Structure 1
Amino acid sequence: MVMFAYKAVTTDGRHVRGEMDAVNMVDLEMRLKRMEMDFVNGYPVKGRGHLGQHAIPRRELINFCFHLEQLTRAGVPILSGLTDLRDSTEHARFREVVAGLVESIEGGRNLSEAVAEYPAVFNNVFCALLRAGETSGNLPHVLRDISENLKRDDELASFGRKVILYPIIVLACVAAATSVALLVLVPQLSTLFRMTGNELPLSTRVLIGASDLLVGYWWLLLGLVIITGLSIKLALNSSLRARHLWDGMLLRLPLLGEIRRKIMLARFSGLFSMMYGAGIPIVDALKSAEAAAGNSVIAEGLREVGERIGEGRNVSGAFASVPLFPPLVVRMLRVGENTGALDEALGNVAYFYDRDVRESVERLQAVTEPLLTLLIGALLLGIILAVLGPIYDIITQLPT
């Protein structure tokens, strides 16, 4: 299929623009007609494939699963439920995706085959879970589990943002204020200090040197920052070893690294528990969940776990052989194997990591705020002392 940009008119006379996959212009017009829109014009968009994952918010997927679960649980046919979702979805891009699902199912495909046509929106895990739900005849339950897992991922992402957002805002404000001081205030004061001929303290000389460096070579410093950032991004995209080293460094960061590891393992454990509960074999579930780890170091550890299980080791022994999971998690898995309730044990692992992430974020926030306050205070105090010290000397030397 080709991605087309189009302009159409809705039944209430509104002009709308959007993008949609279609075979050709005639197919595009027919798809819009099924969405109760009249085609005006359109053209193919070069260099664009299927809708990107970033184009579909996680909240839209949560609503999709929740509403489809409620409709199927009430006995509404899948096709009718998707049609209702298509007509009620406000997000333009996702409405086009749902319209494509309706057409695929009208063409004879089942739901899992239809969503597989949009791999950038519905990943392999999503498709595998739907396939398992269709096979077992328990699709509403699977849709509910997917919705809950997406909500958990959304909460974990919110915790991750909460950890870094406040420090980034504070440090950005401090950097902006310091840059203004070094670029505007300090050069004016340095002229005054040099005119007096007095010997300046070390802190003042360091401050003036930093100001001269920033004023004279700001373009070079900015260029170095941009080149360094682009080089790191290129290396991470082109080299698996560089990606592995970078991901390992992120996990070893003080304070943030451990929380990052817990967030990724919480996401994995919830996903793994859901897939196992849906009837997907453990080895297949591990393979599908590796990509959801979001870190090559953790993905490699999970790959080793899958290899151990494939070699015949039990689940708890395989997880114990990889130093990713704490002993408490391994003990929970061992108890689940011994009692024949491995699905409950996996659910307990997911709950353990979810709670651990929340507590770790709260503790880090309690530590971060006073640390940042002390850092800002020390920085401002140093600048004030470096500036006011020579000014005080000048004032004391004035004739009375």
Structure 2
Amino acid sequence: MHYFQYNARDMLGKAKRGKVQAENRSEALEKLQSQQLIVFELRELNRTLNKELSFGKRVKKKEFIIFLRQLSTLIEAGVSLVEATGLLQEQTKDKFLKDTLKYVRIDLVEGVRFSHSVEKHPKIFPELFVNMIRAGEASGELDDVLNKMAVYYEKQYDMRQKVITAMSYPVLVGFVAVAICVALLVVVFPQFTGMFSTMNAELPAYTAFVLRLSETMQKYWYLGALLLLLCFILYRIIVVRPTGKLFLDTLKLKIPVLGSFYQKAILARMTRTVSSLLESSVPILDTLQISGRVIQNTVMEQVMQECYKAIEKGDSLAGPMEAHWAFPPMVTQMIRVGEKSGSLDSLLQRAANFYEQELDYAAERLKALLEPVLILVLSVMVGGIVTAVILPMFSLYENL
């Protein structure tokens, strides 16, 4: 992305001066003309000297939600946008958000629209937020849109925390199981090697196998670390390739048990996003583009692109979804009914509520299902190593 400094006048002849973000000069000019500005000067800014437009670190989601809720409350209470931005700049603890709000306030004082100002900071303000603000300015309901955005991001944050909580348990138990097994093989099991060597009896085949495994891990432990590093590098290589990312996203959706949980999380995010955008009067084509990028799953993003093409041709939005395995019949039927009745936003809101509730139930079911399975696996892994120690003792006892 490039940044351009412009000097222009609006339709009333008022001077306007600011910065715009675009891929090239032509796109920057189009953006300014779409704002009904007559451009007199447009020059590209030095990217190094223009660091304030894009910070290297994103604001924490929780901090951003607090900012939205406070801004919504202040605007609803009748505080001007300039004053509200200044107040929030003073009290926020996040350095990056504080610096960004300083530049936003300067823009607002100079007469720049709020949507145009926040658009300059994509690392802080997501595309979804910018488009919702733009719609709110056009309809004169900025306070209502800010409140909807606060609710939206709160729900997204809660849903994300539920997914993290549900997935962290099996990951933690798996990590503990592997750590215990490695510790037993590398630290504990070698303590019995001397005892085994004094036995006149031949070691059981299973004990001999575990003993060789323990010796190998002690001598060539660095190969294990190298294997983990290679797996990580391979994963990064696959992820950056479109075909590789598509394969991984498809795999996530088709994994037994976990795939269904992941699908519900994506459907909840998609329906909530589309509903919020449509409710704020964002055009349907823009809504589909933004929602596709918010979904964060290549499989469903491709379906949203097909939906975009279908709407452009005048076809039904539900058509491409009905033809794809990733979208359940309930979602497609609600979309089709919503298109016919003109209440697509409200029906998708109901679908979002349903899938968010389903996600709660799925998280509890997943935890209840995985807990005994993981405990069983941990018991088998640890018990297998303990058994390798006990078996020779039985053989020794039989030879006495």
> Superposition pairs for residues 319-338 of structure 1, below 5 Å?
319-338=321-340
Given candidates 231, 234, 237, the residue that maps to 1:234 is 237
The structure whose RCO (Cα within 8 Å, separation 6+) is larger is: 2
Shift in Å, 1:46? 9.9
The alignment covers a number of residue pairs equal to: 355
d(CA) in 1 for partners of 2:51, 2:81: 30
Q: Structure 1 residue 303 and structure 2 residue 305: aligned?
A: yes
Q: Which residue of 1 aligns with 2:137?
A: 134
The 3 A distance-change label for structure 1 pair 255 and 283 is same
**What letter matches 2:154 in structure 1?**
K
Question: 1:257-288 deviations in whole A, cap 9, x for unaligned?
Answer: 22112212211111110001111121210101
The answer to whether the 8 A contact 2:303-2:320 is kept is no
The answer to whether the 8 A contact 1:309-1:318 is kept is no
The answer to whether the 8 A contact 1:304-1:322 is kept is no
User: Greater CA deviation, 262-271 or 312-321?
Assistant: 312-321
User: Greater CA deviation, 200-209 or 262-271?
Assistant: 200-209
Query: Structure 1, unaligned stretches of length 5 or more?
Result: 2-43
Shift in Å, 1:167? 1.3
d(CA) in 1 for partners of 2:56, 2:372: 38
**What letter matches 1:62 in structure 2?**
I
Shift in Å, 1:337? 2.8
Question: 1:342-396 deviations in whole A, cap 9, x for unaligned?
Answer: 2211111211221121111111011011111111122222222221111233345
Q: Structure 1 residue 156 and structure 2 residue 159: aligned?
A: yes
Q: Which residue of 2 aligns with 1:59?
A: 62
The answer to whether the 8 A contact 2:274-2:345 is kept is no
Q: Which residue of 1 aligns with 2:30?
A: none
Shift in Å, 1:153? 1.1
Shift in Å, 1:77? 1.0
Shift in Å, 1:50? 5.1
Q: Which residue of 2 aligns with 1:366?
A: 368
The answer to whether the 8 A contact 1:266-1:353 is kept is yes
Q: Which residue of 1 aligns with 2:256?
A: 254
TM-score by length of 2: 0.83
Q: Which residue of 1 aligns with 2:189?
A: 186
TM-score by length of 1: 0.83
Q: Which residue of 1 aligns with 2:290?
A: 288
Given candidates 66, 72, 84, the residue that maps to 1:69 is 72
Question: 1:217-236 deviations in whole A, cap 9, x for unaligned?
Answer: 11112112112212321332
d(CA) in 2 for partners of 1:339, 1:242: 40
Q: Secondary structure at the match of 1:55?
A: coil
Q: Which residue of 2 aligns with 1:346?
A: 348
d(CA) in 2 for partners of 1:305, 1:155: 28
d(CA) in 2 for partners of 1:244, 1:192: 54
Shift in Å, 1:181? 1.0
d(CA) in 2 for partners of 1:215, 1:66: 55
d(CA) in 2 for partners of 1:173, 1:363: 22
The answer to whether the 8 A contact 2:203-2:392 is kept is yes
Query: Structure 2, unaligned stretches of length 5 or more?
Result: 5-46
d(CA) in 2 for partners of 1:80, 1:346: 36
The 3 A distance-change label for structure 1 pair 255 and 53 is farther
Q: Which residue of 1 aligns with 2:381?
A: 379
The answer to whether the 8 A contact 2:303-2:321 is kept is no
The 3 A distance-change label for structure 1 pair 337 and 190 is same
Q: Which residue of 1 aligns with 2:36?
A: none
**What letter matches 1:343 in structure 2?**
D
The answer to whether the 8 A contact 1:262-1:357 is kept is yes
Q: Which residue of 2 aligns with 1:78?
A: 81
> Superposition pairs for residues 3-152 of structure 1, below 5 Å?
55-152=58-155
d(CA) in 1 for partners of 2:82, 2:114: 9
The 3 A distance-change label for structure 1 pair 268 and 54 is farther
**What letter matches 2:127 in structure 1?**
N
**What letter matches 2:222 in structure 1?**
W
**What letter matches 1:389 in structure 2?**
L
The 3 A distance-change label for structure 1 pair 369 and 292 is same
The answer to whether the 8 A contact 2:275-2:344 is kept is no
d(CA) in 2 for partners of 1:92, 1:222: 37
Shift in Å, 1:329? 1.6
d(CA) in 2 for partners of 1:55, 1:80: 24
d(CA) in 2 for partners of 1:228, 1:323: 30
Q: Which residue of 2 aligns with 1:390?
A: 392
